[in-house]
Amino acid sequence: MTPGREVQVRLFEGDREVLRPLFREADDSEQGIDAYLPLGDIFVAEESGEVVGQLQLVGEGEEVELKSMAVAEERRGGGVGRMLVAAALRSCRERGVRRITVSTAAADTGNLRFYQRQGFRMLSIERDVFGPEAGYPDGIVIDGIPLRDRVWLDQEL
Distance CA 63, CA 96 (A): 9
User: Which amino acid is present at 108?
Assistant: D
Helix (H) or strand (E) run with residue 116 in it? helix 109-117
Domain positions in the chain are: 7-156
pLDDT tens column, 95-114: 999 999 999 999 999 999 99
For the cut 80, the answer to whether the pLDDT of residue 16 exceeds it is: yes
| pTM score | 0.93
pLDDT tens column, 34-74: 999 999 999 999 999 999 999 999 999 999 999 999 999 99
Instruction: Supply the pLDDT for residue 124.
Output: 98
Helix (H) or strand (E) run with residue 22 in it? helix 20-26
CATH number at 7-156:
3.40.630.30
CB 41 within 8 A of CB 9: no
Determine the longest span between alpha carbons in the chain, in angstroms. 46
pLDDT tens column, 140-156: 999 999 999 999 999 99
Instruction: Supply the pLDDT for residue 46.
Output: 98
Helices (H), 6-150: 20-26, 30-36, 80-94, 109-117
Instruction: Supply the pLDDT for residue 5.
Output: 73
For the cut 60, the answer to whether the pLDDT of residue 3 exceeds it is: no
